[in-house]
Structure 1
Amino acid sequence: MTENRPEDVRAAVAQYVTALHRAYLAQADTFAPAVRGAMPLLAGGPPVTVAAVGVRNLHLLATREGLGPLRGQEVEVDGSLDGLGWTLRFYDPVVVPALGTLDETAGPAYDGVKTALGISTVVYHVVAQPGSGLTPHHAGHVGSGLASGHSAAARDFETIRSRVRGREHLVDELAGAAHAGLPRAQALLAKEIAPHNAGVAAAAESLDPDSIRKALLASVGGRSDWRPPS
């Protein structure tokens, strides 16, 4: 069986990323303008770079951190859709030797890949299975799911912000930490916003961003049927 040429693999990954972003934009178009504007991939800021990292799994990390000029065998491809632009860059153990030390037999090495690239903040980090999993259809599901999650987070943060008078700046920092993919910062900020809530404290221990946000939202009464205390 003939192996796929590197340029064919790169083309397939580029198509996958484009399909993911197309689905993200299509889902975002169903939301109100302010919600769209708060979604991490559509919010203003430095340009988006998507790092395609090939180890045992294929990692796709979107970040607004600069990755510097191309070096050695690094390759990049520019992409754009409806006002969203990005640069796709490819990495493997030949380009970044530290990737060759990662063991993914038990599952994707999310933190290890970020560390190898020196990336601390991400807009998204997804894993695609090479081969049959690298299809536009699969990318569409991933992109729609990302957009739904990002929009829910934007609405949750706005609700929380409206109910914690005097601590709005902490919620803004929390939203920024969530957009940047910094779970420890989110945990610390959530506990500062609701220091006496057991549910928030438990969620913070888990370092799971969704659990932290949902616990904090619950601590201020949830989204519906809430009235400020008299």
Structure 2
Amino acid sequence: MTEIAPKQTLYIRNLNETIHPNKMREILYTAFSRFGPVLDVVCIRSNKLRGQAWIVYEDVSTATAAKKKLNNYSLCDKPMNIDYAKETSDAVLKLKNPQEYRERLRKRRDEARKRKEMEDKAILEGGAAAPPAKQAKTEAASAPVVAAPAQPAPRNVVQVPSEPPNKILFAQNLPADTKLETLENLFKDFTGYKEARLVPGHNVAFIEFEDEIKAGHAKDGLHNYKIAEKVFMNLTYAKR
């Protein structure tokens, strides 16, 4: 295994996963600030990063001293595994190279946007109705059938089963010239609004909130909203 070069940032593993990240952040700060000024403590609440954290010091020597002293130290009934981080932390990069830091943030935003677009596309394609099965050529099939005309659905509305409440709304029946700014202005006054994402070429959008309750309030308030002359926006919960 390639040895990681000493850095100002330490990577901590095997933390007690039962402790809330905010509380763990305080505990880590108290434990590691004894060795010198701590620039940042990163402890994220996600399944992928459970039991992990990053400690950022002002200099490498302080990080090395803390690593030497606290590696395998029992914190909250679990021994910490400490190593140097593989990459330079955001806090350090921001101080040493602001331009490179801004470029890192830009790339991160672009990657997040692309992931969202792929997720939105998958949801949209998954909700579209499948084409009707081809009928076999039989005498019964060839006989004329008289049926009542179906009630046409609003334009651009994909007929999908009702989805359970979640934090993302699916907006349909939008005018072709709908601007992102228009949707942002409509939804931003609802508590918990995070972002709106138009799907190019489909006249639909995804509106994301902090949780399903806040999304539900917006859905109740803006479903069938008259977004243009004789055009009413259709809001449902997005397929998850």
User: Normalised by the size of structure 1, how large is the TM-score?
Assistant: 0.29
Which structure dedicates a bigger proportion of its chain to helix? 1
TM norm structure 2: 0.28
Larger Rg computed on CA atoms:
2
Larger RCO, structure (CA 8 Å, separation 6 or more): 1
